[in-house]
């Protein structure tokens, strides 16, 4: 399950795992490592208590802050952390973080050189990376294809879009292929797991990637899994009857959980409406159902929408 800010929170992940199966690994939305060398209380709740199915994700552009964050997460029990080089949000990119770091490959090389130098000497967790294929031009993928194979990442998760694409247009599979081949054949990266991420909405999407890359190590799903929480069960061929009842129970328990930790029904509704806008994308009466959701003023009105499943 991909990290999605504001959606795949610790609360969401906990309730999801109670109702559905088929996801092997979950990622936290990014945790900000900065000069304060303190995670916010909200961020701590994302990785505490320890969860063996979880990989915490760090966002920073500072080696010092990355090392601090890695050590903090190691002390919390995590043997692998993920570095965010994919977030396209303007508030992140303008600070040269997330996908913004891809615009300066010289700086990126220095960053990797320093963190892996420290990793050789100190007890840091394994380091994986979630990346896009560049900032604004597909030619940038060629630079990244020279960089990533030089380092012993535990895993490279590739979202084959430029930052400028955001989430629009088709994934750029030619660039994915370039990165995939370079990492798979790299001297330092031969043991690096390679994960595909992007536009997996149904079983056919999954099978198409697996047919093209039968040796790939995994598939990361974000929006597709939020839209259809049973997608991994469908992919694995797990019998998933009682769909309507299971989705209703999931939404109902999620509403309960957010009611306990958020301040007031307005905040709960805001959170739950955001999730429902994803989950209703594939419904035949999409516009009608989404109108019901937007107008909901309380729990009773909100819980009308699962009846349309």
Q: Long-range contacts for 184-187 (Cβ within 8 Å, ≥24 apart)?
A: 184/215, 185/149, 186/148, 186/149, 186/150, 187/149, 187/150
What is the bridge-based pairing of β-strands 193-197 and 54-55? Answer: unpaired
pLDDT value of residue 65: 98
Burial class (CB in 10 A: 0-12, 13-18, 19+), 185: exposed
pLDDT value of residue 211: 98
> Could you say which residues of the chain have pLDDT below 50?
none
Of all residues in the chain, the percent with pLDDT exceeding 90 is 93
| Residue 148, number of CB atoms within 10 A of its CB | 24
Question: Half-sphere exposure of 4 toward its Cβ, with a 13 Å CA cutoff?
Answer: 21
Q: Note whether 190 and 148 are within 8 A (CB).
A: no
Strand partners, 170: none
pLDDT value of residue 26: 98
The answer to whether domain 10-236 has CATH 3.20.20.70 is yes
Alpha helices in 98-222 (DSSP H): 105-121, 140-147, 173-184, 203-212
| Residue 63, number of CB atoms within 10 A of its CB | 16
**Cα(226)–Cα(205) distance, rounded to whole angstroms?**
15
pLDDT value of residue 306: 87
Q: Note whether 24 and 54 are within 8 A (CB).
A: no
pLDDT value of residue 278: 95
pLDDT value of residue 254: 98
Can you give the pTM of this predicted structure? 0.96
pLDDT value of residue 286: 83
Q: Note whether 125 and 78 are within 8 A (CB).
A: yes
Specify the 3-state DSSP secondary structure of 209: helix
Q: What is the DSSP letter of 179?
A: H
230 dihedral zone (left: phi>0; alpha: psi -120 to 50; beta) = alpha
Q: Which two tokens stand for residue 124?
A: 């840091």
Specify the 3-state DSSP secondary structure of 124: coil
Specify the 3-state DSSP secondary structure of 278: helix
pLDDT value of residue 288: 87
**Cα(213)–Cα(210) distance, rounded to whole angstroms?**
5
Domain boundary assignment for the chain:
10-236, 243-308
For the chain, the straight-line distance linking the first and the last C-alpha, in angstroms and rounded, comes to: 23
Nearest to 112 by CA among 85, 132, 137: 85
């Amino acid at each position: 399950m991909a990290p999605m800010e504001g959606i795949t929170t610790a609360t969401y992940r906990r309730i999801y795992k109670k109702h559905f199966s088929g996801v092997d690994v979950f990622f936290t939305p990014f945790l900000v490592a900065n000069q304060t060398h303190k995670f916010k209380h909200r961020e701590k709740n994302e990785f505490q208590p320890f969860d063996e199915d979880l990989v915490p994700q760090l966002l920073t552009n500072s080696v010092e802050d990355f090392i601090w964050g890695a050590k903090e997460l190691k002390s919390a029990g995590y043997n692998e952390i993920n570095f965010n080089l994919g977030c396209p949000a303007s508030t992140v990119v303008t600070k040269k973080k997330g996908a913004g770091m891809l615009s300066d490959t010289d700086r990126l090389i220095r960053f990797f050189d320093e963190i892996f130098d420290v990793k050789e000497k100190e007890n840091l967790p394994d380091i994986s990376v979630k990346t896009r294929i560049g900032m604004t031009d597909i030619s940038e993928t060629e630079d990244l294809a020279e960089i990533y194979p030089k380092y012993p990442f535990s895993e490279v998760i590739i979202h084959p879009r430029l930052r400028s694409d955001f989430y629009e247009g088709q994934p750029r599979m030619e660039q994915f292929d370039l990165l995939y081949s370079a990492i798979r054949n790299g001297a330092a990266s031969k043991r690096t797991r390679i994960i595909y991420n992007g536009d997996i909405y149904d079983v056919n999407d999954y099978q198409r990637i697996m047919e093209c890359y039968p040796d790939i190590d995994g598939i990361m799903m974000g929006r597709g899994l939020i839209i259809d929480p049973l997608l991994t069960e469908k992919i694995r061929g797990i019998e998933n009857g009682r769909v309507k009842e299971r989705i209703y129970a999931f939404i109902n328990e999620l509403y309960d959980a957010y009611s306990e930790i958020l301040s007031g029904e307005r905040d709960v509704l805001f959170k739950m409406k955001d999730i429902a806008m994803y989950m209703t994308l594939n419904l035949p009466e999409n516009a009608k159902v989404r109108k019901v959701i937007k107008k909901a003023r309380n729990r009773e009105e909100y819980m009308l929408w699962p009846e349309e499943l």
